[in-house]
Structure 1
Amino acid sequence: MSSSNFKKRSLIDKLRSFDKNGTSIFDLGHPLLNRIAESFVKAAGIGAVQAVAREAYFVAVEGVGEDTNDIPPEISAAKRHRFPGLRGEMNGKTVEALVKGTGKESLQWGLAAGMYSGLTYGLKEARGVHDWKNSALAGAITGAALSLTSDGHSHQQIVQCAITGAAISTAANLLTGIF
């Protein structure tokens, strides 16, 4: 076995051991910072994959036929092209639009996850208990903050996102351990 193959296996094993041992990939000097950074990186990666997969789906659907009637009617015109400049052809502008859009979406996912994770950790430390109340408050604040990143946000949209964030995080907290 070559030494480069050994190094790759060692790195992969080391990365897998972080989750098993409860240690963090990052050591920024404080558990709160470590948790925020790790959540940010994981969620940003998921956001990037989701953004690219969604755009690939829309390019594939639009490539089915020349007529826009081939696109399922439930997909609105606004959702067809989340990334301005992507129109199904492959050129420099298309790649640039994909990279910019994916970066923006990755940043949004990462900020939301880092903020939620940091808030739940901070509330647990401040209150001395980790319960559904911490999750509800962290979800509400994160939902409201996330709604502020959308274009043309309104007071009603901010409140709806806060309620949705609180409901989802509370349900996730309450269902932890059941499944």
Structure 2
Amino acid sequence: MPSSRFSGSYSSPKVDVAIDMGNPYLNLTLDGFLKIGAVAATRVAAEETYHCLRAGNFSKNKMEHSLKKMCKEAAYWGTIAGVYVGMEYGMERVRGTRDWKNAMLGGAITGALISAATDNGKDKVVLSAISGAAIATAAEFLSYLT
């Protein structure tokens, strides 16, 4: 009996930004900032487009508001990503090994720094460090699966 198979693969396009800051630490930090910042700006652009289409209202003020929101979100998420990537790379350099523990420590330090910078109490800083470590570790483990 004849049989057939379909085999193929799909890969998404890879976008890389090559800005050389003269230091691998700074290069990775800037790369993380730009990539995640672009994702955040795109998310806001999609949401704002949806809201404008749903309301049927396009105005100059609405567009200016959307642009400001895009920039704010891009800067916020880009900063968090840049700090995390820098911390993870720093952990790799200090420990001399590349494993999931770097992600965990980088996530914990990033969570604590971001929370402390927003003037939260001690308990919130600790909880943010735990959350950052958990999210970063989970993301690292998921990357091993693919």
Question: TM-score normalised by the shorter chain: which range applies?
Answer: 0.7 to 0.9
Q: Of 54, 74, 80, which aligns to 2:47?
A: 54
Q: Compute the TM-score of the two structures, normalised by the length of structure 2.
A: 0.76
User: Is 91-100 or 117-126 further displaced after alignment?
Assistant: 91-100
**Which one-letter code corresponds to 1:55 in the other structure?**
E
Give the corresponding residue for 2:35. 42
Identity of aligned residues (%): 37
Instruction: State the Cα RMSD in Å.
Output: 2.7
Aligned to 1:124: 92
Quote the residue 2:81 is aligned against: 113
Alignment partner for residue 101 of structure 2, among 133, 138, 155?
Answer: 133
Gaps of 5+ in 1: 1-14, 64-87
How many pairs align?
134
Q: CA deviation at 1:147?
A: 4.1
**Residue in structure 2 matching 1:94, options 26, 43, 62:** 62
* Cα distance in structure 2, aligned partners of 1:60 and 1:145: 38
TM-score, normalised relative to structure 1: 0.63
Query: Using the alignment, how far apart are the partners of 2:49 and 2:117 within structure 1?
Result: 24
Partner residue, 1:176: 143
Q: Deviations over 1:60-92 (max 9, x none)?
A: 45x3xxxxxxxxxxxxxxxxxxxxxxxx73222
2:21 maps to 1:28: yes
Residue 144 (structure 1) shift = 3.2
Secondary structure in structure 2 of the residue aligned to 1:125: helix
8 Å contact kept, 2:52–2:58: no
